[in-house]
Chain A
Amino acid sequence: MLTFNVDDGYLEGIVRGFRSGLLSSSQYMNLTQCETLEDMKLQLSATDYGNFLANEPPPLTTSVYFARLTERLVADFAYLRANAVGRAGKFLEYLTYAYMIDNVILLITGTLHQRDASELLDKCHPLGWFDAMPALTVATTIQDLYSVALVETPLGPYFKNCLSSHDLDELNIEIIRNTLYKAYLEDFYRFVTTELDDVTADTMKAILEFEADRRVINITINSFGTELSKDDRYKLFPNFGKLYPEGAARLARVDDVDAVKAVLEGYPDYRHLFDTADNKTLEDRFFEREVQLNKFAFMSQFQFGVYYAILRLREQEVRNIVWIAECVAQGQRDRINNYVTIF
């Protein structure tokens, strides 16, 4: 705390500036009152987004909204990365690994099915860009793909513990994605708790443990009715979090959603996830809890948790605006209020 501002004080001020630019609940209400996408563009021009749709030829579509909003998010994140030094730079790199994993899996699947290289590269998430991505598309065999991914990306260590190129052939691609993500989460958790100061650790531990528990619950529910064995399911669970070790062990054995509910009864934080009182889906409740934890990250000063929080909150804002745009464009206003308010 005493010397935090030497290297990271400027960026903290910038991130808090981004935070105060997030849309408030009254601005969301204004957006839901809009009749057309053009109206929404007018409303958004009064916010921090300004004239981001100024050069778009009419007619506007929701995919244009999504593309421009994501572009703005990526530009802001690139500014942070350009100005970060030392541990802040390393922390921001860790944030991009999740997107890199998605991109690598997308490229591997696409290349194996002989899709067009430029089309694949367009579909990749810009936050997970690494220099060797075009090289991944020209690889022809599994071995090549594996060695390029291993060598050129910082994801190498995550491949090492779990997979060989032999596995890439046979295992389901989703299992590979989940194994990589598990290794990434565990590495990020280790980084945050051992190499950074305790204020960051306090904030990020709560967020990462929720992320781990969310993956446990999602993997469990998604594996019902598939041929994933219970041992394989347990192998995909991260080794930290409130549900680890007993909850995870029990969830690895269950077979239906009622049993999941019974297991989660013992955890006060997750008991409400399966309430059927209002018609929110499990995903919505997870997003709400995530937004709540990320808002807490701004309660402390002199820590890095705010970088993670602003990225997630901006993503949630993009999801919200695109949801409202979809409802407005299709004229279906009954579920237009299903977005997650942030402030």
Chain B
Amino acid sequence: MGALGYASSPAAYAVYTVAATIVIGLYLTLTGYGESFDVGSYLLAISPYMWASTGIALAIGLSVVGAAWGIFAVGASILGAGVKAPRITTKNLVSIIFCEAVAIYGIIVAIVFSAKLGAVSTYTAASYFTGYAIFWSGVTVGLCNVACGVAVGLTGSSTALADAHDSQLFVKVLVIGIFGSVIGMFGLIVALLQTGKAPDFKV
């Protein structure tokens, strides 16, 4: 029973994978097909449309994840704190608006990039450049917006609780959240810079 347990543990899977890789690698090398393991030609065989579309998907998808994370964090706190202090409910919607701005950065980037898509007859170096640029820009803005959404959301939750306790604290704690929302702006700017020089897909 112990041996069977070991045979399916994560360490065992790692060992199997490494062993299989070594066996396949040696087989290819020793039978003269070593050059068929070509990472470069594999990457070139992936269409730049795939890269570009994935980038656009990540831009909007990850940005929305960040915004949603922030919004639920703020919303739960406003709901709880608003029971005792209903006056905070309207003012603290500004934290939710800051989280929403994060999703808007994502959609700006997605729309701008999807305008670059078009039909080409053959892939040129320029089209590969555009594909890679759009992919990594999408990753940039997406991950930055996840971080920004979480930051603004958690500080927005603290803002709601501080405001419920003492209304003079509202603006002071909100400033922290405003600084957090600048992170998303950074992601947007860098993403637009990355694709600034990328030409549209055209024939």
User: Chain A interface (Cβ within 8 Å of chain B)?
Assistant: 1-2, 5-6, 9-14, 16-21, 301
A20–B73 CB distance below 8 A = no
Which residue of chain B has its CB nearest to the CB of A18?
B84
B158–A11 CB distance below 8 A = no
Some 8 contacts from A to B, beta carbons below 8 A apart, are A5-B77, A9-B77, A12-B161, A13-B82, A13-B83, A17-B83, A20-B84, A21-B84
Whether A10 touches B80, Cβ cut-off 8 Å, given contacts A17-B85, A301-B158, is: yes
Which one, B79, B150, B165, contacts A16 given CB within 8 A?
A: B165
B49-82 vs A, CB cutoff 8 Å, 1 = contact: the mask equals 0000000000000000000010011011111111
Which one, A2, A12, A14, A301, contacts B84 given CB within 8 A?
A: A14
| CA–CA, A16 and B88, complex, Å | 14
Which residue of chain B has its CB nearest to the CB of A4?
B73
B84–A17 CB distance below 8 A = yes
B80–A13 CB distance below 8 A = yes
B85–A10 CB distance below 8 A = no
Most chain B Cβ neighbours within 10 Å, of A9, A12, A18, A20: A9
A16–B73 CB distance below 8 A = no
A13–B160 CB distance below 8 A = yes
B85 contacts which chain A residues (CB < 8 A)?
17, 20
In the complex, whether B154 has a CB less than 8 A from a CB of chain A is yes
Tally of contacts, chain A with chain B, CB under 8 A: 63
B154–A12 CB distance below 8 A = no
In the complex, whether B103 has a CB less than 8 A from a CB of chain A is no
Most chain A Cβ neighbours within 10 Å, of B69, B150, B161, B164: B161
A10 contacts which chain B residues (CB < 8 A)?
76-77, 79-80
Whether A13 touches B81, Cβ cut-off 8 Å, given contacts A6-B72, A20-B164, is: yes
From 18 to 77 in chain B, residues with beta carbon under 8 angstroms from any chain A beta carbon are 69, 72-73, 75-77
A6–B154 CB distance below 8 A = no
A13 contacts which chain B residues (CB < 8 A)?
76-83, 160-161, 164
Q: Chain B: interface residue count, which band?
A: 20 to 34
| CA–CA, A106 and B101, complex, Å | 60
A12–B83 CB distance below 8 A = no
In the complex, whether B130 has a CB less than 8 A from a CB of chain A is no
| CA–CA, A13 and B76, complex, Å | 8
Write the nearest CB–CB distance from B23 to chain A, whole angstroms: 42
A1–B154 CB distance below 8 A = yes
B81 contacts which chain A residues (CB < 8 A)?
13, 16-17
| CA–CA, A11 and B73, complex, Å | 13
A9–B80 CB distance below 8 A = yes
Other than the known A2-B69, A13-B77, what 11 A-B pairs have Cβ atoms closer than 8 Å? A2-B150, A5-B72, A5-B73, A5-B157, A6-B76, A12-B77, A12-B80, A13-B81, A14-B80, A16-B80, A17-B164
Write the nearest CB–CB distance from B148 to chain A, whole angstroms: 14
A14–B83 CB distance below 8 A = yes
| CA–CA, A16 and B78, complex, Å | 12
A301–B157 CB distance below 8 A = yes
Write the nearest CB–CB distance from B75 to chain A, whole angstroms: 8
A19 contacts which chain B residues (CB < 8 A)?
165
| CA–CA, A39 and B84, complex, Å | 26
A5–B150 CB distance below 8 A = no
Most chain B Cβ neighbours within 10 Å, of A5, A10, A13, A17: A13
| CA–CA, A18 and B79, complex, Å | 14
B157 contacts which chain A residues (CB < 8 A)?
5, 9, 301
A18 contacts which chain B residues (CB < 8 A)?
84
A21 contacts which chain B residues (CB < 8 A)?
84
Write the nearest CB–CB distance from A309 to chain B, whole angstroms: 15
B76–A9 CB distance below 8 A = yes
A20 contacts which chain B residues (CB < 8 A)?
84-85, 164-165
